[in-house]
Amino acid sequence: MQPNWLEEHRAEVQVVDVREPAEFNGPLGHIEGAKLIPLGSLLQKMKSIEKGKPVVTVCRSGARSAQATVILGKAGFEKVANLSGGMLRWNAQHLHVEGGTTN
């Protein structure tokens, strides 16, 4: 999933940020409306994610969120994508963030 596409279609998907709370609220900030579910608790908290609506997973660089897409896919989520480059790329493209200090 490319950052520009997500910026334009944010209302159509669920954004799940799988970073830790300190990262979510840290210098990179987070995508507006993102739901924080750290990767380590994704299995326990995936009930809070709507199965019928597409999901885009996000982390710092794209590695943890790629793992999250596999976990969600195995759990029966059919429309799951990973944000390419994570919040590093999102910020590098100067897209809107909540919080953070890098923009």
Domains and CATH numbers, the chain: 3-92 (3.40.250.10)
Residues 6 or more apart in contact with residue 40 via CB below 8 angstroms: none
Q: Is the pTM of this model over 0.75?
A: yes
pLDDT confidence band for 102 (50 / 70 / 90): low
Can you give the pLDDT at residue 37? Answer: 98
Distance, in Å, from the CA atom of 68 to the CA atom of 93, rounded to the nearest integer, reads 23
- Altogether, the residues listed in the chain come to a count of 103
For residues 24-44, average pLDDT: 97
How far apart, in Å, are the Cα atoms of 87 and each of 50, 51, 60, 73, 103? Answer: 23, 24, 5, 22, 12
For residues 5-17, average pLDDT: 96
- Cross-strand bridge partners of residue 1: none
